[in-house]
Amino acid sequence: MADLQLMSGDYLAKKHVVFIHGLGGNPETTWQSNNSEKVFWPVWLNEDIEDCCIWTIGYEAPMFVSLDAGMGIQDKAQNILELLLAEQRLSKGEIILVGHSLGGLIIKQLLRLASDQVGREDAVGLVNRVTGVAFMGTPHTGADLAQKGNTLLGRVLLRVFTLLLLKPSAVTASLGRNDATLRDLNTWYREWCFDKKIRHLVLIESKSIPIFGRIVKPDSSDPGLQVRPTSIEANHINISKPSSKQDQIYTLVKSFVEKQSLSKQACWLRSNFGKDHSSWKEYGNWANCPKGIEEEYILDQAMRLHSSSSKNSEGLATVEALNLVKDRLLKAGTSIRLVGLSGVGKTRFVQALFDERIEGIVLDKETVFYSDISLSPSPSPQVLVERLVRDKMQSIIIVDNCAPDLHRELTNLCKDSSTTKILTVEYDVREDQPEQTEVFSLEPSSRELIEAMISLRFPYVSKQTSMKIAEFSGGNARVANALASTVGKK
């Protein structure tokens, strides 16, 4: 019977690291440090890496049995897969799997079983959230010891076990050198993960165990992936037992685990749509600012934003306007439409809603999904909103260049949601107002703002030239940028 334990960290963490022991192993002692303290070293990862939690899986994997041979690799992998799928605390966040010896084969087999179940949403979601797999002394094409031992004394000991009426367990019997089933599994895995965004760490033992010799030969330890294996000064047992945080085994595992954490949005998209999603972005440089998201958002003191729900005909200045829209987006089921002439800075305004440097209300960057309809996003905005509403995920969906009809569809989809909000952007200055929507109209920038923007982006342009460009542009930032870019450097 397999067992899954949360050993360290908060299960709400972005990253789950799951350790799976090998033949004759144990969910805790397999991963004990090779020093006098004998600590469960995977907890070091939780100490050194932000926002991750550590799990370990235990299962029966004896080398020899007296009666029933027990389950083989495929049955054990199916058993562990069901265990992972049943654990609700593992239903969100990216997953990294670490396997020692047989544990690495179990990982490949459970991924194969899960990927074959295309009609099972939880299995597909789990596979899509796996971002890394680490193999430690894994016999991808079998091991000599599973058949007869590597030395004369080793063969004698195996013969003694036979005389004691013990026989190899089902998993031991399946680990024979060049076993056809293992070769087939490894071929499938290489082909399956070729176009997957899954990173790998492959550690190879370089030392022998007294009596039995080297358990897994280098050619079997190498699964033939697009990553170079690393040979470790350790035998088959100690390759999963670093002695300290300075040990090469730990530093390699730590470096592997801490790389490339997925954002909350990316993990959710990957879980729901696999690799079949495109043009949906988390918070970033949506407006294509020359200096990226680090570029300062220049605050216009002129009254630029007008709200359909306000009786204030003068409008709002930038900071007040940003905080008003932020306040609306804190309310569930909100639908907002931002309109204005092309080039007045609507996308830049929306990007600034999530800029923590601007005083006032702070929106959570991990809730925003942005796309531009001109990029043909997949899934469609309608499907994305339906899934987010279904999953009750706190989210703000921003759709740029959004036509009125699409806006109405999205509004209807999220109007009763307790977690989802909509903000659409469009060149749409018609007077008719969409139902259940607050419409904000963004006016052109002041001359002062245009001059400040030119000074920031084109410092070589003279003040006099900046003033002429600002006047000619009529407050249109796109026109001003285009004009300023034609001015040559001295």
Amino acid at position 75, single letter: D
What pLDDT digit, counting tens, does each position of 40-61 carry? 999 999 999 999 999 999 999 8
Per-residue pLDDT at 488: 75
pLDDT at 487 > cutoff 70: yes
The encoded tokens of residue 459 equal 């410092």
Tell me the whole-structure pTM to 2 decimals.
0.82
pLDDT at 158 > cutoff 60: no
Same fold, 3-264 and 292-442: yes
Helix or strand or coil: residue 157?
helix
What pLDDT digit, counting tens, does each position of 241-297 carry? 999 999 999 999 999 999 977 889 999 999 999 877 899 999 999 999 999 999 999
The domain spans of the chain are 3-264, 292-442, 447-484
Per-residue pLDDT at 431: 62
Handedness of CA 482, 487, 488, 489 (dihedral sign): negative
CATH superfamily for domain 3-264: Alpha/Beta hydrolase fold, catalytic domain (3.40.50.1820)
Q: Are 171 and 73 in contact (CB under 8 A)?
A: yes
Per-residue pLDDT at 68: 63
Mean pLDDT throughout 327-339? 95
Decide which of 1.10.3470, 3.30.70, 3.40.50, 2.30.30 is the CATH code for 292-442.
3.40.50
* 483-490 long-range Cβ contacts below 8 angstroms, 24+ apart: 484/454, 484/457, 484/458, 485/458, 487/458, 487/460, 487/461, 489/460, 490/460
Amino acid at position 255, single letter: S
**Residue with token string 């959570």:** 364
**Residue 439 to residue 35: CA distance in whole angstroms:** 65
Q: Which residue has the higher pLDDT, 162 or 232?
A: 232
All residues at 6 or more sequence positions from 380 whose CB lies less than 8 Å from its CB, including other chains: none
Per-residue pLDDT at 80: 97
CA 226 to centroid of chain Cα atoms:
20
**Residue 471 to residue 45: CA distance in whole angstroms:** 58
**Residue 145 to residue 173: CA distance in whole angstroms:** 10
Mean pLDDT throughout 295-317? 85
**Residue 392 to residue 354: CA distance in whole angstroms:** 21
Per-residue pLDDT at 489: 66
Q: Which residue has the higher pLDDT, 434 or 364?
A: 364
Q: Please, which pLDDT band fits residue 150 given cuts at 50, 70 and 90?
A: very low
Q: Please, which pLDDT band fits residue 177 given cuts at 50, 70 and 90?
A: confident
Q: Are 176 and 146 in contact (CB under 8 A)?
A: yes
Q: At what angle do helices 102-116 and 180-192 cross, to 10 degrees?
A: 60
Per-residue pLDDT at 148: 46
From the number of C-beta atoms within 10 Å of its C-beta (0-12, 13-18, 19+), residue 464 rates as exposed
Q: Taking all residues of the chain, what is their mean pLDDT, rounded to a whole number? A: 90
Residues across the chain: 490
Lowest mean pLDDT among 306-310, 322-326, 363-367, 480-484: 306-310
Mean pLDDT throughout 91-112? 96
pLDDT at 154 > cutoff 50: no
Lowest mean pLDDT among 153-157, 192-196, 411-415: 153-157
Mean pLDDT throughout 228-247? 96
**Residue 385 to residue 380: CA distance in whole angstroms:** 9
Mean pLDDT throughout 86-108? 96
Per-residue pLDDT at 153: 46
From the number of C-beta atoms within 10 Å of its C-beta (0-12, 13-18, 19+), residue 440 rates as buried
Handedness of CA 31, 33, 36, 38 (dihedral sign): negative
